[in-house]
Amino acid sequence: MLTSAALRPSPITPTVDFDGKGVQHGHLRLPYSRDDSAWGSVMIPICVIANCEGPTALLTGANHGDEYEGPAALFELAQTLDPAAINGRVIIVPALNYPAFRAGTRTSPIDRGNLNRSFPGRSDGTVTEKIADYVTRHLIPLADIVLDFHSGGRTLDFLPYAAAHELPDKDQEARCFDAVAAFAAPFSMKMLEIDAVGMLDTTVEEMGKVFVTTELGGAGTATARSIEIARKGSLNLLRHAGILSGEPNAVPTRWLDMPSSDCFTFAQDEGLIAFAADLGDPVRTGEVIARVYSVGKTGIAPIEYRAAMDGVLAARHVPGLIKAGDCLSVIATITEET
């Protein structure tokens, strides 16, 4: 009988010992035979810091290759976290879709794979699917709590927030939102996904773990402010999990909600986009968010995009030109301030 794809062993070999103590810097080595390296590999950096018995946190960045707060915070954390201060284990993969990260693109230049649409992955699939499969079967099962950093990449920009999802298991949901509160980003979101199939988020949540994601900015870069939010949030989450001692540094956060698909606006046609509201601005139902001008000639009225609900502008399209189908904006409602 053929072994099903899901049960075939992963081709990825870790060069770290997940049961070892102290600090280990190594790689996940993924065989990738290609023109410039017949028996070559993709070498995904990984760091394991462990000491004493305790919970395990898995911290990942660059699940999308053009999102930089996670990698900036996690390369630093891997270098500075003192194992003597740890109770448990921290597994850090600062650039999960490493080929995409090196190319500065959302998806992998090898197979165009969008890692966060490739879960649970396949051990006999593309390079991106093999990464997803390894994370699903070998990294997530080790973890009690998972933090996966995102931001808007080159085409979106967000208010800086940590987020969790509504879940069928209300006890698990509460534990996820407690972790979001502990992260203490300027904003905290009850997040609605456009399509949750294939996401790391869904895979972690289905395994019953505590999961926190973020959207901390975007526009293809990271700022001093957004990196600091990521850095402090990582440490707060490790304190919340009991892996670092002390309480999370409580700072005020504004709780946001995406109550329905009305929060998303998509462009109907291409053109030049002129926003009438910036990130964080309050918007009311019916108010113009943006105008999109046809650029072939003058004298054509722009298409006006209006808010379908009251709230604040939580995300926006970044490039000055927009295409049909692009996500133009996201509106979120403010539910509570702490």
Parallel, antiparallel, or unpaired: how do β-strands 327-337 and 264-266 relate? antiparallel
Hey, which residues does 306 pair with through a beta bridge? Answer: 288
Tokens representing 316? 């926006």
Tokens representing 41? 């590999």
Shortest distance, CB of residue 57 to Zn ion, whole angstroms? 20
Shortest distance, CB of residue 88 to Zn ion, whole angstroms? 27
**25 to 33, 112, 135, 266: CA distances (angstroms):** 24, 28, 18, 43
Tokens representing 98? 């490493």
Nearer to Zn ion, 150 or 316 (CB): 150
Nearer to Zn ion, 72 or 243 (CB): 72
Shortest distance, CB of residue 73 to Zn ion, whole angstroms? 15
Kindly state whether residue 317 participates in binding Zn ion, applying the rule CB under 5 A.
no
Nearer to Zn ion, 14 or 152 (CB): 152
Nearer to Zn ion, 14 or 94 (CB): 94
Nearer to Zn ion, 150 or 209 (CB): 150
Contacts to Zn ion from residues 222-251, by CB under 5 A? none
Shortest distance, CB of residue 213 to Zn ion, whole angstroms? 9
Shortest distance, CB of residue 105 to Zn ion, whole angstroms? 12
What is the Cα 264 distance to its own chain's centre? 19
Shortest distance, CB of residue 122 to Zn ion, whole angstroms? 21
Q: Give 109's contacts (C-beta < 8 A, 6+ positions apart).
A: 99, 100, 103
Block residue for tokens 């698909």: 261
Backbone torsion region of residue 245, taken as left when φ is above 0, otherwise alpha when ψ lies between -120 and 50, otherwise beta: beta
Contacts to Zn ion from residues 62-91, by CB under 5 A? 64, 67
Hey, which residues does 327 pair with through a beta bridge? Answer: 266
Q: Is residue 120 reached through a cis peptide bond, with omega within 30 degrees of 0 on the bond before it?
A: yes
Nearer to Zn ion, 67 or 133 (CB): 67
What is the Cα 234 distance to its own chain's centre? 13
**Which residue type is seen at 266?**
F
Element (DSSP H or E) covering residue 70? helix 69-80
User: Site mask, Zn ion, residues 128-167, x = CB under 5 A?
Assistant: ----------------------x-----------------
Nearer to Zn ion, 233 or 248 (CB): 233
Q: What are phi and psi of 333, to 5 degrees?
A: -95, 145
Shortest distance, CB of residue 283 to Zn ion, whole angstroms? 24
Task: Name the segment binding Zn ion (CB under 5 A); options: 58-66, 137-145, 161-169, 190-198.
Answer: 58-66
Size of the site for Zn ion (CB under 5 A): 3
Return residues touching Zn ion (CB under 5 A).
Answer: 64, 67, 150
